[in-house]
Structure 1
Amino acid sequence: MTMRETGWAKINLALHIRARRDDGYHEIETLFAFVDAGDALVADVADADRLTLDGEFAAGLCDGADNLVLRVLTLMRERHGADRVPPLAIGLTKNLPVAAGIGGGSADAAAMARLVRRHFLPEIGDAALPRLVAPLGADIAACVASATCLGTGVGTQLSAVPELALGGTPVLLVNPRQPVATGPVFAAWDGVDRGPLFTGADLRAQLFASRNDLQRPAIAGCPAIVDVLTELGALKPWLARMSGSGATCFALFDAAGERDAAAARLAARHPYWWQLAGALR
Protein backbone atom coordinates (compact mmCIF):
# COMPACT_ATOMS: atom_id res chain seq x y z
CA MET A 1 0.00 0.00 0.00
CA THR A 2 1.38 3.34 -1.05
CA MET A 3 1.16 6.03 1.63
CA ARG A 4 0.67 9.64 0.53
CA GLU A 5 1.02 13.12 2.03
CA THR A 6 1.29 16.69 0.77
CA GLY A 7 3.84 19.28 1.83
CA TRP A 8 1.50 22.29 1.74
CA ALA A 9 3.07 25.60 0.71
CA LYS A 10 3.49 27.99 3.64
CA ILE A 11 3.15 31.76 3.51
CA ASN A 12 3.77 34.39 6.16
CA LEU A 13 0.88 36.81 6.00
CA ALA A 14 2.95 39.00 8.32
CA LEU A 15 6.39 38.64 9.88
CA HIS A 16 7.51 41.02 12.62
CA ILE A 17 10.99 40.64 14.07
CA ARG A 18 11.16 41.89 17.63
CA ALA A 19 14.75 41.09 18.72
CA ARG A 20 17.94 39.28 17.82
CA ARG A 21 18.76 36.56 20.34
CA ASP A 22 22.17 35.64 21.72
CA ASP A 23 21.90 32.16 20.18
CA GLY A 24 21.67 33.62 16.68
CA TYR A 25 17.91 33.14 16.34
CA HIS A 26 15.33 35.93 16.37
CA GLU A 27 12.24 36.64 18.42
CA ILE A 28 9.42 36.92 15.90
CA GLU A 29 5.67 37.28 15.60
CA THR A 30 4.27 35.80 12.42
CA LEU A 31 0.91 34.86 10.95
CA PHE A 32 1.30 31.53 9.18
CA ALA A 33 -1.12 30.47 6.47
CA PHE A 34 -1.05 27.55 4.05
CA VAL A 35 -2.01 27.00 0.43
CA ASP A 36 -3.97 23.96 -0.75
CA ALA A 37 -1.13 22.77 -2.99
CA GLY A 38 2.51 21.85 -2.57
CA ASP A 39 5.02 19.03 -2.82
CA ALA A 40 3.85 15.41 -3.13
CA LEU A 41 5.26 12.73 -0.83
CA VAL A 42 4.70 8.99 -1.28
CA ALA A 43 6.15 6.05 0.66
CA ASP A 44 6.11 2.27 0.49
CA VAL A 45 7.49 -0.28 2.93
CA ALA A 46 10.84 -1.48 1.58
CA ASP A 47 13.98 -3.38 2.56
CA ALA A 48 15.93 -0.18 3.27
CA ASP A 49 15.30 3.56 3.49
CA ARG A 50 15.79 5.44 0.26
CA LEU A 51 14.64 8.80 -1.09
CA THR A 52 13.94 9.46 -4.75
CA LEU A 53 13.45 13.01 -5.97
CA ASP A 54 11.62 14.27 -9.01
CA GLY A 55 9.65 17.32 -10.06
CA GLU A 56 10.58 20.72 -11.43
CA PHE A 57 12.76 21.72 -8.48
CA ALA A 58 14.29 18.36 -7.55
CA ALA A 59 17.73 19.44 -8.76
CA GLY A 60 17.98 21.85 -5.84
CA LEU A 61 17.89 19.07 -3.24
CA CYS A 62 20.07 16.23 -1.99
CA ASP A 63 18.68 12.74 -1.48
CA GLY A 64 21.08 11.77 1.32
CA ALA A 65 20.71 11.51 5.07
CA ASP A 66 20.83 15.31 5.46
CA ASN A 67 17.52 15.72 3.65
CA LEU A 68 14.90 16.86 6.16
CA VAL A 69 12.49 14.12 5.11
CA LEU A 70 14.98 11.42 6.09
CA ARG A 71 16.02 13.31 9.22
CA VAL A 72 12.41 13.33 10.42
CA LEU A 73 12.14 9.61 9.76
CA THR A 74 15.32 8.96 11.74
CA LEU A 75 14.22 11.17 14.61
CA MET A 76 10.85 9.50 14.96
CA ARG A 77 12.47 6.08 15.02
CA GLU A 78 14.94 7.20 17.67
CA ARG A 79 12.19 8.56 19.90
CA HIS A 80 9.59 5.84 19.43
CA GLY A 81 11.47 2.67 18.56
CA ALA A 82 13.17 1.55 15.36
CA ASP A 83 11.13 -1.64 15.33
CA ARG A 84 7.87 0.29 15.00
CA VAL A 85 8.68 2.17 11.78
CA PRO A 86 9.82 -0.09 8.93
CA PRO A 87 12.27 0.92 6.20
CA LEU A 88 10.58 3.13 3.62
CA ALA A 89 11.11 3.85 -0.05
CA ILE A 90 10.11 7.51 -0.28
CA GLY A 91 9.35 9.54 -3.37
CA LEU A 92 9.28 13.33 -3.20
CA THR A 93 7.92 15.34 -6.12
CA LYS A 94 9.34 18.80 -5.65
CA ASN A 95 6.77 21.23 -7.05
CA LEU A 96 7.76 24.19 -4.84
CA PRO A 97 10.90 26.22 -5.50
CA VAL A 98 13.82 25.82 -3.10
CA ALA A 99 15.04 28.69 -0.87
CA ALA A 100 11.84 30.55 -1.67
CA GLY A 101 10.30 31.62 1.65
CA ILE A 102 7.36 29.22 1.41
CA GLY A 103 8.63 26.47 3.70
CA GLY A 104 9.32 23.84 1.05
CA GLY A 105 11.79 21.79 3.08
CA SER A 106 9.87 22.33 6.31
CA ALA A 107 6.60 21.40 4.62
CA ASP A 108 8.13 18.18 3.30
CA ALA A 109 9.52 17.32 6.74
CA ALA A 110 6.11 17.93 8.31
CA ALA A 111 4.44 15.78 5.67
CA MET A 112 6.82 12.96 6.52
CA ALA A 113 6.03 13.35 10.22
CA ARG A 114 2.28 13.19 9.54
CA LEU A 115 2.69 10.13 7.33
CA VAL A 116 4.74 8.22 9.90
CA ARG A 117 2.36 9.09 12.71
CA ARG A 118 -0.77 8.14 10.79
CA HIS A 119 0.52 4.75 9.66
CA PHE A 120 2.90 3.67 12.43
CA LEU A 121 2.77 5.88 15.54
CA PRO A 122 -0.87 6.94 15.99
CA GLU A 123 -0.41 7.53 19.72
CA ILE A 124 1.57 10.74 19.08
CA GLY A 125 -0.84 13.59 19.82
CA ASP A 126 -1.50 16.74 17.85
CA ALA A 127 0.44 18.83 20.38
CA ALA A 128 3.32 16.37 20.73
CA LEU A 129 4.13 15.97 17.04
CA PRO A 130 5.12 19.63 16.39
CA ARG A 131 7.26 19.62 19.54
CA LEU A 132 9.00 16.45 18.39
CA VAL A 133 10.08 17.79 15.00
CA ALA A 134 10.55 21.49 15.86
CA PRO A 135 14.31 21.10 16.66
CA LEU A 136 14.92 20.27 12.99
CA GLY A 137 13.70 23.68 11.78
CA ALA A 138 11.72 26.63 13.10
CA ASP A 139 8.91 26.43 10.50
CA ILE A 140 8.36 22.67 10.72
CA ALA A 141 6.14 22.91 13.81
CA ALA A 142 3.65 25.18 12.05
CA CYS A 143 3.79 23.04 8.91
CA VAL A 144 2.67 19.94 10.83
CA ALA A 145 -0.92 21.18 11.11
CA SER A 146 -0.62 23.43 8.04
CA ALA A 147 -3.38 25.66 9.38
CA THR A 148 -3.50 29.41 9.92
CA CYS A 149 -1.88 30.24 13.25
CA LEU A 150 0.21 32.77 15.15
CA GLY A 151 3.85 31.86 15.67
CA THR A 152 5.93 33.53 18.38
CA GLY A 153 9.31 32.95 19.98
CA VAL A 154 11.45 31.64 17.13
CA GLY A 155 8.24 30.66 15.37
CA THR A 156 7.64 27.40 17.21
CA GLN A 157 5.23 28.69 19.87
CA LEU A 158 1.93 28.34 18.07
CA SER A 159 -1.57 29.52 18.91
CA ALA A 160 -4.82 29.43 16.98
CA VAL A 161 -6.28 32.63 15.55
CA PRO A 162 -9.92 31.74 14.86
CA GLU A 163 -10.70 35.36 14.02
CA LEU A 164 -8.55 34.93 10.89
CA ALA A 165 -11.21 33.00 9.00
CA LEU A 166 -9.23 32.79 5.77
CA GLY A 167 -10.08 29.29 4.53
CA GLY A 168 -10.89 29.35 0.83
CA THR A 169 -9.33 32.76 0.17
CA PRO A 170 -7.98 32.76 -3.41
CA VAL A 171 -4.20 33.21 -3.44
CA LEU A 172 -1.53 33.58 -6.10
CA LEU A 173 2.13 32.82 -5.32
CA VAL A 174 4.86 34.22 -7.57
CA ASN A 175 8.62 33.69 -7.53
CA PRO A 176 11.14 35.23 -9.97
CA ARG A 177 13.10 31.95 -9.94
CA GLN A 178 15.87 33.43 -7.85
CA PRO A 179 16.75 31.52 -4.66
CA VAL A 180 17.22 33.53 -1.48
CA ALA A 181 19.08 31.99 1.47
CA THR A 182 17.28 32.52 4.76
CA GLY A 183 20.31 32.99 7.03
CA PRO A 184 21.85 36.02 5.29
CA VAL A 185 18.47 37.78 5.10
CA PHE A 186 17.88 37.41 8.84
CA ALA A 187 21.49 38.49 9.49
CA ALA A 188 20.91 41.64 7.44
CA TRP A 189 17.90 42.73 9.51
CA ASP A 190 18.68 46.22 10.83
CA GLY A 191 17.84 45.38 14.47
CA VAL A 192 15.00 47.90 14.72
CA ASP A 193 11.90 46.66 16.55
CA ARG A 194 9.03 48.25 14.64
CA GLY A 195 6.35 46.97 16.99
CA PRO A 196 4.06 44.00 17.52
CA LEU A 197 1.44 42.55 15.27
CA PHE A 198 -1.76 44.57 15.20
CA THR A 199 -4.48 42.72 17.08
CA GLY A 200 -7.63 44.53 16.06
CA ALA A 201 -10.85 42.68 15.31
CA ASP A 202 -11.02 43.69 11.64
CA LEU A 203 -9.10 41.15 9.53
CA ARG A 204 -8.10 43.41 6.70
CA ALA A 205 -7.11 46.23 9.03
CA GLN A 206 -4.98 43.74 10.96
CA LEU A 207 -3.17 42.58 7.84
CA PHE A 208 -2.79 46.06 6.34
CA ALA A 209 -1.24 47.29 9.59
CA SER A 210 1.26 44.42 9.63
CA ARG A 211 4.43 43.94 7.57
CA ASN A 212 7.30 41.63 6.71
CA ASP A 213 10.45 42.93 8.38
CA LEU A 214 12.61 40.74 6.12
CA GLN A 215 11.34 42.33 2.94
CA ARG A 216 13.89 45.14 2.89
CA PRO A 217 17.00 42.98 3.47
CA ALA A 218 15.69 40.37 1.02
CA ILE A 219 15.27 43.01 -1.67
CA ALA A 220 18.84 44.17 -1.10
CA GLY A 221 20.03 40.73 -2.19
CA CYS A 222 17.28 40.04 -4.73
CA PRO A 223 15.99 43.24 -6.37
CA ALA A 224 13.60 41.21 -8.54
CA ILE A 225 11.31 41.02 -5.50
CA VAL A 226 10.40 44.66 -6.14
CA ASP A 227 9.37 43.77 -9.70
CA VAL A 228 7.17 40.92 -8.46
CA LEU A 229 5.48 43.08 -5.81
CA THR A 230 4.93 45.90 -8.30
CA GLU A 231 3.35 43.56 -10.81
CA LEU A 232 1.17 41.90 -8.17
CA GLY A 233 0.02 45.25 -6.82
CA ALA A 234 -1.08 46.30 -10.31
CA LEU A 235 -3.38 43.26 -10.44
CA LYS A 236 -5.52 44.74 -7.62
CA PRO A 237 -5.43 42.06 -4.92
CA TRP A 238 -6.56 43.08 -1.46
CA LEU A 239 -3.14 42.18 -0.08
CA ALA A 240 0.25 41.58 -1.71
CA ARG A 241 3.41 40.91 0.29
CA MET A 242 6.62 38.92 0.33
CA SER A 243 6.53 35.62 2.22
CA GLY A 244 9.18 34.59 4.75
CA SER A 245 12.69 35.54 3.68
CA GLY A 246 11.70 35.67 0.00
CA ALA A 247 11.76 35.69 -2.88
CA THR A 248 8.21 34.31 -3.22
CA CYS A 249 5.47 36.90 -2.95
CA PHE A 250 1.74 36.31 -2.60
CA ALA A 251 -1.46 38.11 -3.47
CA LEU A 252 -4.89 37.54 -1.88
CA PHE A 253 -8.06 38.08 -3.91
CA ASP A 254 -11.76 38.22 -3.19
CA ALA A 255 -12.75 35.78 -5.93
CA ALA A 256 -11.14 32.88 -7.77
CA GLY A 257 -11.96 34.51 -11.09
CA GLU A 258 -9.96 37.60 -10.12
CA ARG A 259 -7.02 35.40 -9.11
CA ASP A 260 -7.15 33.41 -12.35
CA ALA A 261 -7.34 36.52 -14.51
CA ALA A 262 -4.39 37.98 -12.62
CA ALA A 263 -2.40 34.76 -13.07
CA ALA A 264 -3.04 34.72 -16.81
CA ARG A 265 -2.08 38.35 -17.20
CA LEU A 266 1.08 37.86 -15.17
CA ALA A 267 2.06 34.74 -17.10
CA ALA A 268 1.74 36.65 -20.36
CA ARG A 269 3.96 39.45 -19.10
CA HIS A 270 6.51 37.30 -17.25
CA PRO A 271 6.42 33.75 -18.62
CA TYR A 272 9.67 32.83 -16.84
CA TRP A 273 8.35 33.54 -13.36
CA TRP A 274 7.05 30.60 -11.33
CA GLN A 275 3.53 30.90 -10.04
CA LEU A 276 1.02 28.82 -8.11
CA ALA A 277 -2.70 29.58 -7.99
CA GLY A 278 -4.70 28.09 -5.14
CA ALA A 279 -6.71 28.84 -2.04
CA LEU A 280 -5.80 29.13 1.61
CA ARG A 281 -6.51 26.02 3.67
Structure 2
Amino acid sequence: MTAADAGVHEAAPAKINLALHVTGRRADGYHLLDSLVAFADIGDHVQARPATRTRLRVTGPMAAGVPRGGENTVLRAAALIGVAADITLDKHLPTAAGIGGGSSDAAATLRALARLGGIAVPGGVLALGADVPVCLLARAARMRGIGEEVLPVDGLPALDAVLVNPRVPVATPGVFARLDRRENDGLPEVLPRWHDRADCARWLATQRNDLEDPAQALCPEIGTVLEGLRESQDCALARMSGSGATCYGLYPDAMAATRAAARIAAQRPYWWVVATRLR
Protein backbone atom coordinates (compact mmCIF):
# COMPACT_ATOMS: atom_id res chain seq x y z
CA MET A 1 0.00 0.00 0.00
CA THR A 2 1.39 3.41 -0.97
CA ALA A 3 1.23 6.54 1.16
CA ALA A 4 -1.44 7.87 -1.21
CA ASP A 5 -3.54 4.71 -0.77
CA ALA A 6 -3.38 5.21 2.98
CA GLY A 7 -4.42 8.81 2.58
CA VAL A 8 -2.73 12.17 2.98
CA HIS A 9 -3.03 14.77 5.71
CA GLU A 10 -2.65 18.54 5.49
CA ALA A 11 -2.87 21.17 8.22
CA ALA A 12 -5.11 24.18 7.65
CA PRO A 13 -3.66 26.78 10.04
CA ALA A 14 -5.44 29.92 11.14
CA LYS A 15 -4.45 32.97 9.09
CA ILE A 16 -3.90 36.16 11.09
CA ASN A 17 -3.80 39.60 9.49
CA LEU A 18 -1.25 41.37 11.67
CA ALA A 19 -1.99 44.54 9.71
CA LEU A 20 -4.57 45.14 6.98
CA HIS A 21 -4.70 48.34 4.96
CA VAL A 22 -7.47 48.98 2.42
CA THR A 23 -5.81 50.85 -0.44
CA GLY A 24 -8.57 51.23 -3.03
CA ARG A 25 -11.44 49.64 -4.89
CA ARG A 26 -11.51 48.40 -8.47
CA ALA A 27 -14.23 49.27 -10.96
CA ASP A 28 -15.71 45.79 -10.48
CA GLY A 29 -16.20 46.47 -6.77
CA TYR A 30 -13.35 44.34 -5.42
CA HIS A 31 -11.32 46.07 -2.72
CA LEU A 32 -7.54 46.36 -2.87
CA LEU A 33 -5.59 45.38 0.22
CA ASP A 34 -2.06 45.47 1.57
CA SER A 35 -1.72 43.06 4.48
CA LEU A 36 0.98 41.41 6.57
CA VAL A 37 -0.12 37.85 7.31
CA ALA A 38 1.15 35.22 9.73
CA PHE A 39 -0.10 31.70 10.43
CA ALA A 40 -0.87 30.18 13.81
CA ASP A 41 0.23 26.79 15.03
CA ILE A 42 -3.44 25.86 15.57
CA GLY A 43 -6.09 25.26 12.94
CA ASP A 44 -8.19 22.71 11.10
CA HIS A 45 -7.02 19.46 9.53
CA VAL A 46 -7.81 17.84 6.18
CA GLN A 47 -7.40 14.14 5.45
CA ALA A 48 -8.02 12.70 1.99
CA ARG A 49 -8.17 9.11 0.76
CA PRO A 50 -8.61 7.81 -2.81
CA ALA A 51 -12.23 7.31 -3.88
CA THR A 52 -14.34 6.98 -7.01
CA ARG A 53 -16.28 10.11 -6.15
CA THR A 54 -15.76 12.95 -3.72
CA ARG A 55 -17.43 12.76 -0.32
CA LEU A 56 -16.96 15.09 2.64
CA ARG A 57 -17.22 14.28 6.33
CA VAL A 58 -16.90 17.07 8.89
CA THR A 59 -15.78 16.37 12.45
CA GLY A 60 -14.39 18.42 15.33
CA PRO A 61 -15.69 20.93 17.87
CA MET A 62 -16.65 23.51 15.21
CA ALA A 63 -18.29 21.07 12.79
CA ALA A 64 -21.77 22.47 13.42
CA GLY A 65 -20.92 25.79 11.75
CA VAL A 66 -19.70 24.31 8.47
CA PRO A 67 -21.95 24.42 5.37
CA ARG A 68 -22.40 21.06 3.64
CA GLY A 69 -23.61 22.26 0.24
CA GLY A 70 -22.00 23.66 -2.86
CA GLU A 71 -20.74 26.73 -1.01
CA ASN A 72 -18.40 24.58 1.08
CA THR A 73 -14.85 25.63 0.21
CA VAL A 74 -13.45 22.11 0.59
CA LEU A 75 -15.89 20.74 -1.99
CA ARG A 76 -15.23 23.70 -4.29
CA ALA A 77 -11.48 23.11 -4.03
CA ALA A 78 -11.95 19.41 -4.81
CA ALA A 79 -14.03 20.29 -7.87
CA LEU A 80 -11.38 22.73 -9.06
CA ILE A 81 -8.51 20.24 -8.86
CA GLY A 82 -10.60 17.34 -10.17
CA VAL A 83 -9.27 14.57 -7.90
CA ALA A 84 -11.95 12.38 -6.33
CA ALA A 85 -11.43 11.56 -2.66
CA ASP A 86 -13.02 10.76 0.64
CA ILE A 87 -12.25 13.94 2.57
CA THR A 88 -12.47 14.45 6.31
CA LEU A 89 -12.37 18.02 7.58
CA ASP A 90 -11.58 18.16 11.30
CA LYS A 91 -12.88 21.61 12.19
CA HIS A 92 -11.40 23.53 15.13
CA LEU A 93 -11.60 27.15 13.92
CA PRO A 94 -14.80 29.23 14.17
CA THR A 95 -16.47 30.13 10.89
CA ALA A 96 -16.91 33.67 9.51
CA ALA A 97 -14.25 34.72 12.01
CA GLY A 98 -11.65 36.71 10.05
CA ILE A 99 -8.93 34.06 10.37
CA GLY A 100 -9.27 32.43 6.97
CA GLY A 101 -10.76 29.17 8.19
CA GLY A 102 -12.64 28.34 5.00
CA SER A 103 -9.80 29.58 2.79
CA SER A 104 -7.21 27.62 4.74
CA ASP A 105 -9.43 24.53 4.49
CA ALA A 106 -9.63 25.00 0.71
CA ALA A 107 -5.87 25.48 0.43
CA ALA A 108 -5.18 22.39 2.55
CA THR A 109 -7.59 20.42 0.35
CA LEU A 110 -5.77 21.56 -2.78
CA ARG A 111 -2.40 20.54 -1.32
CA ALA A 112 -3.77 17.19 -0.13
CA LEU A 113 -5.46 16.28 -3.41
CA ALA A 114 -2.45 17.41 -5.44
CA ARG A 115 -0.33 14.97 -3.42
CA LEU A 116 -2.98 12.27 -3.70
CA GLY A 117 -3.24 12.64 -7.46
CA GLY A 118 0.44 13.30 -8.10
CA ILE A 119 -0.39 16.55 -9.87
CA ALA A 120 0.28 20.25 -9.43
CA VAL A 121 -2.16 22.64 -7.81
CA PRO A 122 -4.04 24.28 -10.69
CA GLY A 123 -4.31 27.97 -11.41
CA GLY A 124 -7.44 29.94 -10.74
CA VAL A 125 -7.45 29.38 -6.97
CA LEU A 126 -8.38 33.02 -6.38
CA ALA A 127 -11.89 32.07 -7.48
CA LEU A 128 -12.17 30.08 -4.24
CA GLY A 129 -11.57 33.18 -2.11
CA ALA A 130 -9.21 36.13 -1.72
CA ASP A 131 -7.28 34.42 1.09
CA VAL A 132 -6.71 31.11 -0.69
CA PRO A 133 -3.45 32.10 -2.47
CA VAL A 134 -1.78 33.19 0.78
CA CYS A 135 -3.19 30.15 2.59
CA LEU A 136 -1.62 27.92 -0.05
CA LEU A 137 1.73 29.36 0.97
CA ALA A 138 0.83 29.03 4.68
CA ARG A 139 3.76 31.06 5.96
CA ALA A 140 4.44 34.69 6.82
CA ALA A 141 3.65 36.77 3.76
CA ARG A 142 2.54 40.08 2.38
CA MET A 143 -0.65 39.92 0.33
CA ARG A 144 -1.69 42.71 -1.98
CA GLY A 145 -4.24 43.55 -4.64
CA ILE A 146 -7.37 41.43 -4.26
CA GLY A 147 -5.26 38.62 -2.83
CA GLU A 148 -3.52 37.54 -6.03
CA GLU A 149 -0.12 39.00 -5.12
CA VAL A 150 1.57 36.99 -2.36
CA LEU A 151 5.15 37.63 -1.34
CA PRO A 152 6.87 35.54 1.36
CA VAL A 153 8.20 37.60 4.28
CA ASP A 154 11.43 36.51 5.89
CA GLY A 155 12.55 37.64 9.31
CA LEU A 156 9.17 37.86 11.05
CA PRO A 157 9.82 36.80 14.65
CA ALA A 158 7.70 34.04 16.17
CA LEU A 159 4.96 35.88 18.05
CA ASP A 160 3.23 34.45 21.11
CA ALA A 161 -0.40 35.41 20.91
CA VAL A 162 -3.90 34.91 22.22
CA LEU A 163 -6.77 34.61 19.73
CA VAL A 164 -10.26 35.52 20.94
CA ASN A 165 -13.57 35.25 19.12
CA PRO A 166 -16.87 36.19 20.81
CA ARG A 167 -18.65 33.48 18.77
CA VAL A 168 -20.50 36.06 16.71
CA PRO A 169 -20.13 35.59 12.92
CA VAL A 170 -19.34 38.71 10.90
CA ALA A 171 -20.23 38.93 7.21
CA THR A 172 -17.29 40.35 5.25
CA PRO A 173 -19.42 42.19 2.61
CA GLY A 174 -21.24 44.08 5.35
CA VAL A 175 -17.96 45.22 6.86
CA PHE A 176 -16.61 46.53 3.55
CA ALA A 177 -19.92 48.26 2.88
CA ARG A 178 -19.44 50.33 6.05
CA LEU A 179 -15.98 51.61 5.14
CA ASP A 180 -15.87 55.41 5.26
CA ARG A 181 -12.60 55.64 3.33
CA ARG A 182 -11.29 53.22 0.73
CA GLU A 183 -8.19 55.05 -0.52
CA ASN A 184 -5.65 54.61 2.26
CA ASP A 185 -1.89 54.31 2.48
CA GLY A 186 -0.50 50.79 2.21
CA LEU A 187 2.23 49.25 4.30
CA PRO A 188 5.74 50.66 3.79
CA GLU A 189 7.09 49.57 0.42
CA VAL A 190 10.03 47.92 2.18
CA LEU A 191 9.19 46.19 5.43
CA PRO A 192 11.62 46.71 8.31
CA ARG A 193 14.04 44.16 9.71
CA TRP A 194 12.65 43.38 13.13
CA HIS A 195 15.25 42.74 15.84
CA ASP A 196 12.94 40.67 18.02
CA ARG A 197 9.26 40.14 18.86
CA ALA A 198 9.09 43.29 20.99
CA ASP A 199 10.46 45.35 18.11
CA CYS A 200 7.92 43.75 15.78
CA ALA A 201 5.04 44.49 18.17
CA ARG A 202 6.11 48.14 18.43
CA TRP A 203 6.19 48.45 14.65
CA LEU A 204 2.83 46.72 14.25
CA ALA A 205 1.35 49.26 16.66
CA THR A 206 2.14 51.95 14.06
CA GLN A 207 0.08 50.09 11.45
CA ARG A 208 -3.66 49.35 11.47
CA ASN A 209 -6.60 47.22 10.36
CA ASP A 210 -8.86 49.49 8.33
CA LEU A 211 -11.78 47.09 8.80
CA GLU A 212 -11.74 47.25 12.59
CA ASP A 213 -14.06 50.25 13.03
CA PRO A 214 -16.69 49.17 10.48
CA ALA A 215 -16.65 45.64 11.89
CA GLN A 216 -17.25 47.00 15.40
CA ALA A 217 -20.23 48.95 14.08
CA LEU A 218 -21.74 45.64 12.98
CA CYS A 219 -20.49 43.63 15.95
CA PRO A 220 -19.96 45.70 19.14
CA GLU A 221 -18.65 42.57 20.87
CA ILE A 222 -15.38 43.12 18.99
CA GLY A 223 -14.74 46.21 21.11
CA THR A 224 -15.33 44.17 24.25
CA VAL A 225 -12.84 41.55 23.04
CA LEU A 226 -10.21 44.18 22.27
CA GLU A 227 -10.73 45.78 25.66
CA GLY A 228 -10.31 42.42 27.38
CA LEU A 229 -7.07 41.74 25.54
CA ARG A 230 -5.65 45.21 26.17
CA GLU A 231 -6.42 44.95 29.88
CA SER A 232 -4.74 41.55 30.19
CA GLN A 233 -1.32 41.41 31.80
CA ASP A 234 1.68 41.94 29.48
CA CYS A 235 -0.38 42.51 26.31
CA ALA A 236 1.83 44.47 23.91
CA LEU A 237 -0.77 44.95 21.18
CA ALA A 238 -4.39 43.98 20.52
CA ARG A 239 -5.97 44.17 17.07
CA MET A 240 -8.71 42.58 15.01
CA SER A 241 -7.78 40.08 12.30
CA GLY A 242 -9.30 40.24 8.83
CA SER A 243 -12.90 41.40 8.83
CA GLY A 244 -13.47 40.05 12.35
CA ALA A 245 -14.68 39.10 14.77
CA THR A 246 -11.49 37.32 15.92
CA CYS A 247 -8.91 39.55 17.58
CA TYR A 248 -5.34 38.81 18.58
CA GLY A 249 -3.17 39.97 21.45
CA LEU A 250 0.62 39.79 21.42
CA TYR A 251 2.63 38.82 24.51
CA PRO A 252 6.32 38.63 25.43
CA ASP A 253 6.41 34.83 25.71
CA ALA A 254 4.30 31.68 25.68
CA MET A 255 3.81 31.69 29.45
CA ALA A 256 2.34 35.20 29.40
CA ALA A 257 0.05 34.26 26.50
CA THR A 258 -1.13 31.10 28.24
CA ARG A 259 -1.80 33.01 31.46
CA ALA A 260 -3.78 35.70 29.65
CA ALA A 261 -5.81 33.13 27.69
CA ALA A 262 -6.74 31.28 30.89
CA ARG A 263 -7.86 34.48 32.60
CA ILE A 264 -9.92 35.70 29.64
CA ALA A 265 -11.53 32.28 29.20
CA ALA A 266 -12.46 32.19 32.88
CA GLN A 267 -14.07 35.61 32.64
CA ARG A 268 -15.86 34.88 29.35
CA PRO A 269 -16.46 31.11 29.21
CA TYR A 270 -18.61 31.36 26.08
CA TRP A 271 -15.85 32.97 24.00
CA TRP A 272 -13.42 30.99 21.85
CA VAL A 273 -10.02 31.68 23.41
CA VAL A 274 -6.71 30.03 22.53
CA ALA A 275 -3.03 30.74 23.17
CA THR A 276 -0.89 30.10 20.12
CA ARG A 277 2.28 31.07 18.30
CA LEU A 278 2.25 33.02 15.05
CA ARG A 279 4.98 32.25 12.55
Residue from 207, 211, 215 that aligns with 1:210: 207
Q: CA deviation at 1:130?
A: 8.0
Mapped partners of 2:161, 2:238: distance in 1: 10
1:192–1:108 distance in 2 versus 1, CA, 3 Å? closer
Post-superposition Cα deviations, 1:99-148, rounded to whole Å, max 9, x if no partner, equal 000001000000001111223234x2xxxx48441221100000011101
Alignment check: 8 A CA contact 1:130 1:144 kept = no
Match of 2:141 in 1: 149
Query: What TM-score comes out, normalization by structure 1 length?
Result: 0.90
Match of 1:81 in 2: none
Residue from 267, 271, 275 that aligns with 1:269: 267
Alignment check: 8 A CA contact 2:59 2:89 kept = yes
Mapped partners of 2:184, 2:45: distance in 1: 38
Match of 1:6 in 2: 11
Mapped partners of 2:105, 2:223: distance in 1: 28
Q: CA deviation at 1:244?
A: 0.2
- Higher mean C-alpha displacement, 154-163 vs 250-259: 154-163
Mapped partners of 2:212, 2:42: distance in 1: 24
Where do residues 66-81 of structure 1 align in structure 2 (5 Å cutoff)? 66-77=71-82
Match of 1:254 in 2: 252
Mapped partners of 1:188, 1:224: distance in 2: 17
Mapped partners of 1:36, 1:201: distance in 2: 23
Q: Flag structure 2 segments of 5+ consecutive residues without an equivalent.
A: 1-5, 195-199
Q: CA deviation at 1:191?
A: 2.2
Residue from 161, 173, 176 that aligns with 1:186: 176
- Higher mean C-alpha displacement, 252-261 vs 186-195: 186-195
Mapped partners of 1:130, 1:50: distance in 2: 20
Mapped partners of 2:227, 2:255: distance in 1: 21
Alignment check: 8 A CA contact 1:20 1:191 kept = no
Post-superposition Cα deviations, 1:61-83, rounded to whole Å, max 9, x if no partner, equal 22233311111111112xxxxxx
Mapped partners of 1:130, 1:46: distance in 2: 20
Q: Percent identity at matched positions?
A: 45
Query: What TM-score comes out, normalization by structure 2 length?
Result: 0.90
Residue from 89, 97, 100 that aligns with 1:100: 97
Match of 1:223 in 2: 220
Mapped partners of 2:164, 2:236: distance in 1: 16
Q: Flag structure 1 segments of 5+ consecutive residues without an equivalent.
A: 78-84
Which runs of at least 4 in structure 1 moved beyond 4 Å after TM superposition?
Answer: none
Alignment check: 8 A CA contact 2:25 2:182 kept = no
Correspondence 1:176 to 2:166? yes
Q: CA deviation at 1:205?
A: 4.0
Q: CA deviation at 1:28?
A: 0.9
Match of 2:3 in 1: none
Mapped partners of 1:133, 1:100: distance in 2: 21
Residue from 45, 48, 54 that aligns with 2:53: 48
Match of 1:245 in 2: 243
Q: CA deviation at 1:47?
A: 3.2
- The residue type equivalent to 1:43 in the other structure is A
Mapped partners of 1:132, 1:107: distance in 2: 16
- The residue type equivalent to 1:135 in the other structure is A
Q: CA deviation at 1:200?
A: 4.0
Mapped partners of 1:47, 1:114: distance in 2: 19
Mapped partners of 1:238, 1:118: distance in 2: 40
Match of 2:30 in 1: 25
Mapped partners of 2:37, 2:182: distance in 1: 22
Q: CA RMSD in A?
A: 1.6
- The residue type equivalent to 1:15 in the other structure is L
